[in-house]
Amino acid sequence: MKSQNRRSFLKTSTAITVAATGLTPSTAHAGPTNILSPDRMGVLVDTTVCIGCRNCEWACKTAHGLETPPLDAYEDRTPLAKMRRPDETALTVVNQYENPKEPDLPITVKVQCMHCDHPACVSACIVGAIAKHANGEVVWDTDKCIGCRYCMVACPFQVPAFEYHKALGPRIMKCDFCSERRADGKLPACVESCPVEALTYGRREDLVRIAKERIKRSPDRYVEHIYGEAEVGGTSWCYLAGTDFDSLQFPKLGLNPAPGVSESIQHGIFAYFVPPVSLYALLGAVMWTSRHRHDEEEEQS
């Protein structure tokens, strides 16, 4: 792990010369440090089942020790009227959208970290404080983080939040896929709390299969698209919907992993440190010859 980092750093220091001689970043591929287990877990969110009860919001805050009103208070549906985003006080939120098929039954969508298979935040983090684990979760390490917020710049879903009003020890706050609960053999808090089973927890492979079966069984109920199956190289959380994902404010993203181009450039410039070292040698040669010539000129004059 350490030597890999060192090597890729070496690669990075070389990239400039490559960039200068023309670079082809189209062959973007994921970071080599990713551990992608075939058994990685995920959650399938079926937005056609979700009733917008927001029990998951309460369960999440309770599980993560965040301040929350009692569960009864969540019966109030007025917060749904306004678009909200996960932030440092709530790691997951439910938003409401008009249903073009049945105006009386609005569509509700739970939002949280997608736990990408090739996360931009992991690639971007200056100190490697964010990691993708074999069990699918993308988690943040408070002992490493310097609070630079480059993960927030990088995230294609704009999920990580920052505690801007803490003078000391501000944290990056985002869904951690209930890392601790799952380590204890428990379900993620939101999945456990969902009364209508809109959330299905399981191996990502199985979830994609289940999602495909659901679409096949009820083609009228769903649009033929599993959001997260292929977006930015795949995400551990996947979504089903009865209407176009654009209208539910899912970002339109390409199929290449988000860190792809950036990593290709980095690794190109620093290919085994060859470009920087060659540049050093070249400049040394120029310096020696020009000084030599200069001395000769001086002798002649």
- Per CB under 8 A, contacts with other proteins among 252-291 are 252-254, 258-259, 261-263, 265-267, 269-270, 276, 279-280, 283-284, 286-287, 290-291
Among the listed residues 231, 237, 256, 228, the one whose alpha carbon sits nearest the alpha carbon of residue 30: 256
Site for other proteins in 200-229 (CB under 8 A): none
Options 165, 184, 195, 299; binder of other proteins; rule CB under 8 A? 165
Tell me how far, at minimum, the Cβ of 100 lies from other proteins, in Å.
22
**Cβ closest to other proteins, residue 5 vs residue 218:** 5
Among the listed residues 83, 103, 106, 102, the one whose alpha carbon sits nearest the alpha carbon of residue 93: 83
Q: At what angle do helices 274-300 and 2-20 cross, to 10 degrees?
A: 50
Where helices occur in the chain by DSSP H, the ranges are: 2-20, 55-63, 120-124, 150-154, 179-183, 189-193, 204-217, 260-269, 274-300
**Cβ closest to other proteins, residue 87 vs residue 229:** 87
What's the full length of the chain, in residues? 301
**Cβ closest to other proteins, residue 69 vs residue 147:** 147
Judged by CB under 8 A, the stretch of 35-43, 65-73, 163-171, 237-245 that binds other proteins is: 163-171
Tell me how far, at minimum, the Cβ of 34 lies from other proteins, in Å.
10
Q: Are 33 and 1 in contact (CB under 8 A)?
A: yes
**Cβ closest to other proteins, residue 219 vs residue 284:** 284
- 81 makes contact with other proteins (CB under 8 A): no
- 85 makes contact with other proteins (CB under 8 A): yes
Tell me how far, at minimum, the Cβ of 62 lies from other proteins, in Å.
22
Options 53, 120, 175, 208; binder of other proteins; rule CB under 8 A? 120
How many chain residues are in contact with other proteins, going by CB under 8 A? 80
Judged by CB under 8 A, the stretch of 46-54, 59-67, 166-174, 186-194 that binds other proteins is: 166-174
Options 91, 129, 178, 248; binder of other proteins; rule CB under 8 A? 129
**Cβ closest to other proteins, residue 165 vs residue 217:** 165
d(CA 293, CA 270): 33
Site for other proteins in 228-257 (CB under 8 A): 249, 251-254
Cα–Cα distance list, 102 to 51, 95, 97, 110 (Å) = 14, 17, 11, 19
Cα–Cα distance list, 233 to 118, 156, 279 (Å) = 6, 12, 35
Options 79, 106, 128, 202; binder of other proteins; rule CB under 8 A? 128
Q: How far is CA 93 from the centre of its chain?
A: 17
3-class DSSP assignment, residue 189? helix
Site for other proteins in 14-53 (CB under 8 A): 15-16, 19-20, 23, 25, 31, 33
**Cβ closest to other proteins, residue 219 vs residue 251:** 251
Cβ-in-10-Å burial (0-12, 13-18, 19+) of 196 comes to: exposed
Return the ∠ at Cα 293 (arms to 289 and 294), rounded to 5°.
Answer: 115
DSSP state of 245: G
Options 69, 76, 166, 213; binder of other proteins; rule CB under 8 A? 166
